[in-house]
Homo-oligomer: A and B are copies of this chain.
């Protein structure tokens, strides 16, 4: 141990985990050390680059608070989040696909009754969503808890607006006896992820754009079913093929149908142009414990 070099140090570090009582933790940390060391050796990482990495992680930690999770943003933009989601949801044919959770979910969002407007005055063209939750065989899932969150027409989530002190364009609904739920909100638009922090610096330095295609987030929970964390993306968005967080799945792209003023099923409820989305979510059974 007094004369390890840059090659022998990897086994020396991993040997320190010999006394780890948690076999899974030992496996994870050993693999982490092996890949971390291989990365540094392969790239011949310099001390200045190592220091830049320490500073980057420090800045990422310091900008992270209860309303902003820059480490999740980093994981998202490096594709780690979507990889983790993908390998943990082996879906039965017909089940709705999962995608990234993202950094903007808030616990304990307000509850809404069926059909209620959860926009809370957020700016945007009206959107009326009608949706169903079923099992793989088409059985309605009644009493599912549906968490909805989205950005406004300026591309901001409520938590990104320091002037707001209460939730907006987010809420929790329940599916009814027929497995249906409905709400009013606003049309989602494409938006850039926050670029005023370390992750934004990384995107600029690497020539990457920061845009996500327009989408609404859904998290659907029901006893006996696997929790579904997903988005519904708006068909036609120019960023569907280059989502900065790699979250798009073809099966999650849906038509948000535009209705001219005075036309369509909700014409009596709004003065101008509005949009409707009809969507079906299919849950798969929870994995056996």
Q: Which residues of A are at the interface with B, using a C-beta cutoff of 8 A?
A: 1-6, 9-10, 12-13, 16-22, 25-29, 31-33, 35-47, 49-50, 54, 57-58, 60-62, 64, 69, 71-72, 75, 78-88, 202, 205-208, 240-243, 246, 248-250, 253
- Report whether A246 and B78 are in contact in the complex, using a CB–CB cutoff of 8 Å: no
Q: Which residues of chain B have C-beta atoms less than 8 A from A18's C-beta? A: 207
Q: Is the CB of A21 within 8 A of B207?
A: yes
| Chain B residues with CB below 8 A from A82, complex form | 4, 9
- Take A29-B206, A35-B35, A35-B36 as given contacts and tell me if A86 and B50 are in contact as well, using a CB distance cutoff of 8 Å: no
- Residues on B with beta carbons closer than 8 Å to the beta carbon of A208: 16-17, 19
Sample of 8 further A-B pairs with CB below 8 A, known A6-B87, A12-B79, A17-B208: A2-B241, A9-B83, A9-B246, A21-B207, A25-B205, A25-B206, A36-B80, A58-B69
CA distance in complex: A26, B84 (Å): 23
A1→B50 contact, CB < 8 A: no
Shortest C-beta distance, A246 to chain B (Å), equals 6
Q: How far is it, in angstroms, between the C-alpha of A97 and the C-alpha of B72 when the chains are bound?
A: 39
A69 to B71, CA, bound (A): 17
A118–B83 CA distance with the chains assembled, in angstroms: 53
Q: Distance in Å from the Cβ of A279 to the closest Cβ of chain B?
A: 17
Instruction: Indicate if the CB atoms of A86 and B20 lie closer than 8 Å.
Output: no
The answer, among B25, B61, B242, for a CB contact under 8 Å with A62, is B61
Asked if B43 and A39 make an inter-chain contact with CB atoms under 8 angstroms apart, the answer reads: no
Rounded to whole angstroms, the CA-CA distance of A42 and B35 in the bound complex is: 10
Could you say which of B20, B46, B81, B241 contacts A88, with CB atoms under 8 Å apart? B46
Q: Are B17 and A253 in contact (CB under 8 A)?
A: no
- Evaluate whether A43 and B22 lie within 8 angstroms (CB atoms) in the complex, with A33-B79, A64-B61 already known: no
Question: In angstroms, how far is the closest chain B Cβ from the Cβ of A256?
Answer: 17
Contacting pair A69 B54 (CB below 8 A) = yes
Q: Which residues of B contact A87 (CB under 8 A)?
A: 6, 40-41, 44-45
| Interchain CB contact under 8 A, A16 and B206 | yes
Chain B residues near A250: list those with CB within 8 A.
Answer: 2-3
Considering the chains assembled together, what is the distance between the CA atoms of A19 and B242 in angstroms? 13
Bound: A25/B205 CA distance, A: 8
| Cross-chain contact A75 with B58 (CB below 8 angstroms) | no
| 18 A–B contacts, CB within 8 A, in A order | A1-B241, A2-B249, A3-B249, A9-B79, A10-B83, A13-B246, A16-B206, A22-B205, A33-B79, A37-B80, A40-B80, A40-B84, A45-B84, A45-B87, A50-B80, A54-B75, A57-B61, A58-B64
Contacts of A21 in B (CB 8 A): 207
Determine if B253 and A2 form an interchain contact, defined as CB atoms under 8 angstroms apart: yes
